Structure 1
């Protein structure tokens, strides 16, 4: 009976945050539509405790920020620990609200949380998108700023800029840059500053930008890009998802990866991307079998500290030198194979000597 009374009392503390008391931002993500959730409340920014945080709450944040739909609600300070107050706790959204301020929360309970419980969100939209193309990796280039979405002027947009756009969207390499609103005219703003990428940046926002008075830009000048294809990655034929033959997807077609110039740095990036820890070993097709179908013979020149393979410099390799006998495999530290004593490999000129 006492516990029931306590529950009723706590329920009476549920606070609906007033319309003018809070705004929302995402911090420490790799694009404007992912990161630690922070709310502006009573004159300062604070974090949100992950207690009762779920995909319905994340959906409201994504909707409020015009970031599409919620892909993931994150916990345990996935995007790093914040500082300052923990402003909201035990958030209870139905998922249909237009803003987080419209959801209920037990603010008094936030004091029992700490910053290693900061909540986060991953939304479907990044701060960059391709619109009105004929597949996911083609279309009019649009960028998200604080003022909203806008198209990009084709003035001074070149192949190096397109390299970064395709890389950030996990769309492979650029095939063509199209000018003069080839994918139709956008709506709203036109970002007219010159984007000056070197071509090796992981995100378009990292590139230098200079405002230019030399170009008169309108939606007639909207630039478009066609990239080689959407990519995904997986490890197959191992005892778990953290070990196996490396396979990549271009659009709907999966293929194996040739071991030409594949090294531990590339393997480390792959393991990190798959949330599988660090690379323990790079192995040949004798471990996880030969694949079938396409053989992607790209060479990944990774430093080893990238968060995903698409951030590495990529060049094509002669496919004539590759066969399924050279399908590469990887064992990551989170795999059960990495826990076995006596894991052995041979390091020599040939696979069976060293």
Structure 2
């Protein structure tokens, strides 16, 4: 990525998004001029980076390098905050605050490797740009990897100047391998994401992380790689947050580490989030409640459907939406009704990003409180209806041993996911090796259960399984 950063800078193409080898973009046919390139990342040109003499290499065309640069950048802040500028032809153009929304912000932060959006700021909060104001409207749905792939409209509704340049603050911290508001803590430092040692992370640090991500307050700090072991570096500094900082970036740090940590000590965090399910049988089923201005309130069931439920289940890290309810199936709330006439496309990362009548605006009462049942199982690494089987166990997703999974278990998983019936059960990590725990219990489904959580379970394991034994499943459905 240090080498790629120099290429993107030299071309005026923003930040490096990915560095690709093995001729990802096809093989060249001419000479190979450079090999073993070693850039610090600060060079102005690739030719200035260290490498052997021109034309000397131990390589062939199957190892040609490639780069993906971003078409967006953030200016006058830090790497993950600033004025939004989009590459338009050969020039960088600013974006009008009236033409930029939360879905656009999701894509920009993701494209820059900067986590999730924290705040969209108008009125040139990061200063007035100098070039063009972009003459198109971004119409991102929030699930794109780059702004380049977002639909655009040339029918501008607003007459904007640089006084309207939009700014964006993305999070410098991520929660990985859980949900949007729970997971392994990773902090952005330079160009890389670092895990944090459980012995160097406390309640004050957790307060800041949850606040920065818009995830309420800390519920639980988990050590010993509860959300799986990370793959990158372990951070070599100790966070010393006071707890009132708005971003982890502003916390004091100490390089006097007391502990020698590995990825076995990666810290995990569960925040309260901005959505929850209450009065159900598990944290993945119940009445939908959202956090607004520090108070939990319900969601009206008017027009509540499976696309809305899908966003809630994804935000909570609870797999797929199984069923929706809109007549207080899980009991009536007693607090405010915060949302009504919710209309999600289904691709939003949070329920708050979906269209609605406006906070607190409703034509409803608590007899119509919305509810959701999410599945406690998912398939990963394939399609919606095929992949590695993972089961929700407490706050974590765990893989299942191929020797402990049979046709009856497969019937239940496919049914719960709305994916028809099983076509094939595959062992030996056919859909890749998982990263977290391997489940220490054995499913004993009869095959007629509606959900995996209703299947009997035994803890008397006959097999000693690793991720090389992760089971995969192909169901008949394709939706």
TM-score range, shorter chain: 0.3 to 0.5
- Say which structure, 1 or 2, has more relative contact order (CA 8 Å, 6+ apart): 1
| TM-score, normalised via structure 2 length | 0.36
| TM-score, normalised via structure 1 length | 0.47
